[in-house]
């Protein structure tokens, strides 16, 4: 009697186990000022957080199978998206990951400068998700350095991109490092699972200085609610880790 009634439950559990998620877990990591800005009105690189926060950024990066950034952040911050700590790289390898996470860049226009630092460093694959609006000359220049995923139409389908990352590249954990426009578009499609925020003791002001979701007035179709899962105070900053509540 007991065995018979537990069978459907076992079957359901095993089905649950065998159902692979269709996209990676998406974590977004930002430093913000007290007035919610992620940069100044001149879009200067995000250097306003402490050394400790920058160390943590690298540690968070080290958890990822892939990192995601928008073209705006890539151009303004001009970072190779590496992992400067040998110890963190060794830990990744011991966990069965590659030494460096993959690097994923998003651009609808496809107009990405090939002189950026990311293209000068060859430590991990670079994937560019863009559209067929990318000019042919640029495709020829970029394709030896990056794998191009170009879809027809005006905009990248973010759900399809995440599905591709999960299925083809086996990405289980994706860390998005901005910027605001990418974050807003992920939120609008309910594709964010966790949000990490370092609240820095600075106030920038400025109508043109972007907030977490872009300029004031940038539209989000619904309120995003979150649950605080961690709070850490160090170096005069507050690091907050939230889970998105669905």
Ligand X SMILES: NC(=O)c1ccc[n+]([C@@H]2O[C@H](COP(=O)([O-])OP(=O)(O)OC[C@H]3O[C@@H](n4cnc5c(N)ncnc54)[C@H](OP(=O)(O)O)[C@@H]3O)[C@@H](O)[C@H]2O)c1
- Site for ligand X, rule CB under 6 A: 30-31, 38-39, 43, 45-46, 69-73, 76-77, 106-109, 111, 155-156, 158, 177-182, 185, 210, 214
Nearest residue (CB) to ligand X, 80 versus 210: 210
Nearest residue (CB) to ligand X, 76 versus 99: 76
Least distance from ligand X to the Cβ atom of residue 68, Å: 9
Nearest residue (CB) to ligand X, 92 versus 107: 107
Nearest residue (CB) to ligand X, 124 versus 151: 151
**What is the C-alpha separation between 35 and 224, in angstroms, rounded?**
18
Strand order of the β-sheet with 102-106 is 147-151, 126-131, 102-106, 66-70, 173-176, 25-32, 194-199, 237-244, 226-234
Least distance from ligand X to the Cβ atom of residue 23, Å: 15
Nearest residue (CB) to ligand X, 107 versus 175: 107
Is the alpha carbon torsion for 39, 42, 43, 49 positive or negative?
Answer: negative
**What is the C-alpha separation between 6 and 88, in angstroms, rounded?**
44
Least distance from ligand X to the Cβ atom of residue 141, Å: 15
Least distance from ligand X to the Cβ atom of residue 12, Å: 36
Nearest residue (CB) to ligand X, 14 versus 201: 201
Least distance from ligand X to the Cβ atom of residue 109, Å: 4
């Amino acid at each position: 009697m007991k065995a018979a009634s537990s069978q459907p439950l076992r079957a359901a559990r095993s089905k649950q186990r065998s159902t692979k998620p269709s996209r990676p877990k998406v974590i977004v990591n930002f430093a913000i000022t007290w007035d919610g800005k992620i940069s100044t009105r001149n879009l200067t690189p995000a250097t306003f957080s402490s050394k400790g926060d920058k160390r943590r950024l690298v540690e968070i990066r080290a958890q990822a199978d892939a990192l995601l950034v928008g073209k705006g952040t890539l151009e303004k911050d001009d970072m190779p998206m590496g992992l400067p700590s040998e110890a963190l790289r060794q830990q990744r390898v011991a966990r069965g990951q590659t030494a460096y996470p993959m690097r994923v860049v998003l651009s609808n226009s496809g107009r990405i400068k090939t002189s950026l630092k990311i293209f000068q460093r060859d430590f991990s694959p670079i994937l560019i998700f863009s559209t067929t609006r990318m000019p042919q000359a640029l495709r020829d220049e970029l394709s030896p350095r990056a794998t191009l995923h170009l879809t027809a139409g005006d905009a990248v389908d973010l759900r399809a991109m995440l599905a591709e990352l999960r299925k083809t590249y086996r990405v289980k954990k994706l860390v998005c490092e901005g910027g605001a426009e990418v974050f807003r578009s992920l939120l609008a499609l309910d594709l964010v699972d966790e949000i990490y925020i370092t609240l820095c003791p600075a106030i920038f002001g400025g109508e043109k200085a972007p907030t977490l979701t872009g300029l004031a007035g940038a539209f989000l179709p619904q309120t995003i609610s979150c649950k605080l899962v961690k709070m850490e105070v160090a170096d005069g900053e507050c690091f907050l880790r939230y889970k998105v509540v669905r």
